[in-house]
Amino acid sequence: MRYQITEAELPNRMKKFLADIDAGKVFRAKVLQNNREAVGSALRGLIETARARNLPEKLDNATAKVFIERLVEEGWQQASLVGLKTLLRHYAYETNEGVEWALASGSTDRRPLALVFRASHWAPFRSLISDIEASFTAPEIRMADRWMRYRKTHIRVDEEMAQRFEPDGWTFYRLAATMTAIEPDSPENLILQQVQRQRRQALAGYSKKMPKDPYYGLPEPLYSEMKSLFIGNSGLSPSRLKSLCVAVRRLWKACDKEGVPGALTMETARLYVDGLFASKLALRSVASYCEFLACFAKRAGYSREIFDALMEVHNAVKYDAKHDLARKAHSLAKHPVDLVDVAQNAYRLLEQACDQDDIRNRRRDYVLAGAIALLSKLQLRSLDLRQGVVGREFKRDSEGWRVDLKTSKKGVPIQGRLASELTRYLDAVLLMDVSEMHLWTVYKQRTGTSLFGNPAQGWRPFAKNWLWVNMRECLNHGPHIVRTLIYDAVAADPSLDAVVAQALCGHGNITSRKFYEIEADRYRRLQGVASMTDIAKGLEAEVAQPTAVDRDVEGFHSEAK
């Protein structure tokens, strides 16, 4: 097709591109030189159409659209249009003009990486180009380039905006990891990781399951009886009802093992108790399970005989358990630890987190360090940590972190500012890999999510046993060991009263205190012996020192002599 304008009338950038083709200074120079006339014709037609429509004299979405429409009207076939678009894409990639149109119009992105890195948004990473090329594949780098171009067209980056970027879930898969390596301090990485998770779940057909009732799957009449306790006004706390459910489910399994109907009778109660003793449960746990089933029998209206029999076993086993050394006492004897050791482990985990190459291990260490550090200062239960939400139970302000919660077991309120030493640990849990300069941006994003949450699951709390498993790996003890350590530490310090430990652990009565004390009695005996020794030494000193009467008697004898 003959156009009215000549190559001399083209914009300077286009004339330079044609001159570079002639000089062989472009990528794929041989291909473009063989199609030199077609390239010049395409550029002349583009600019002529743009001038006719009063559009900017450059390649972009608008000018390309009207030019293609003109060619279609003039009878161009699809095969010819494909070839023309390819030549225009070569121009776009070489000059960085109209790249958005070029990427959108092509089925694949096969740009040479040297052309990709010419874009201005790669300027901050010039010194890292060789490392990026060595660490990532060409498709991953091109994907990162398309993302950086896309985000420049938006005011802010959020999940909704990220979801609109290239809806193909498979090509999006590595973007989050690539951008985390390129811009490790950017808060956008957290958003990309959430979108990546959502797309992966959508591809796998994942749908969030509704939580099941604690009594689901129980046979009748156990199901109906347990359900009535939950929905009725039983006066029992949710945690107490769940404990009853666990006991009833154990009863059902014991019945199923022996091939008898799943119901509560004297016969099945015996099977239940025999199963408890046959298991590896501690005596205290056996006693508790007997009491749980007895409570269920009483609340569900079973015969007094069953309740009395279960409580008789409970009382007998509980008495024996007093002389049974607790498991944590065995554990502490085998693996001695104190509060300083706990704090040192938190420090070690935080220091090594940034050196972890695997993002999952890195984030595990951040969360674990924050949880252990918090437990060493504030002796909460693991459930309290799992339920702690940013902006609700745990709040950040310009001075540090504050806590405002009620303990999950007894509802004891714990409020106040946390120690300043915890600030860097909890900030690390909040920020993960993001720079501290984005603290308040991330805090706003994370408000309403679990502080000790799993980023791979939309910041939902980690699994129930996650903290236990990971703390045992690094400390050989579970998270609740710190409650024992604080009681023993307070008992070892004669200047402190046990009430201090009760307040730190959120205990409302002395029964809870007695359960957690391990070394406290030994410390008190040692203090008692030390006090008696001091008293004895004082008495000896008084006896050795002559009194006024002794001095008078000695004087009398001297005068008599």
In the structure encoding, which two tokens stand for residue 139, read together?
A: 């498709």
Q: Over 50: is that where the pLDDT of 552 sits? A: no
- Split at pLDDT 50, 70, 90, the class of 35 is very high
Least confident of 247-256, 379-388, 519-528: 519-528
Residue 417's SS3 state is: strand
Q: Rounded mean pLDDT of 539-556?
A: 51
Q: ∠ CA(525), CA(527), CA(530), 5° rounding? A: 110
Q: Burial level of 155, CB count in 10 A (0-12/13-18/19+)? A: exposed
- Split at pLDDT 50, 70, 90, the class of 561 is very low
Query: Tens of pLDDT along 456-477?
Result: 777 888 888 898 899 888 888 8
Amino acid identity for residue 329 in this structure: A
What is the per-residue pLDDT for 522?
Answer: 47
Q: Over 90: is that where the pLDDT of 62 sits? A: yes
What is the per-residue pLDDT for 326?
Answer: 61
Query: Tens of pLDDT along 324-360?
Result: 556 666 666 677 788 888 889 899 999 998 888 777 8
Do residues 264 and 244 touch, judged by C-beta distance below 8 A? Answer: no
How much is the mean pLDDT over the chain? 82
DSSP code string of 434-501: S-GGGHHHHHHHHTTSBTTEEGGGTTEEPPTTHHHHHHHHHHSS-TTHHHHHHHHHHHH-TTS-HHHH
Query: Tens of pLDDT along 501-546?
Result: 555 555 555 444 444 444 444 444 444 445 555 555 555 555 555 5
Amino acid identity for residue 283 in this structure: L
CA distance 493 to 501: 11
What is the per-residue pLDDT for 205?
Answer: 66
More confident residue, 304 or 510: 304
Query: Tens of pLDDT along 78-90?
Result: 989 999 999 999 9
- Split at pLDDT 50, 70, 90, the class of 495 is low
**Which residues, in sequence order, are CB contacts of 230 under 8 Å at separation 6+?**
213, 214, 215, 241
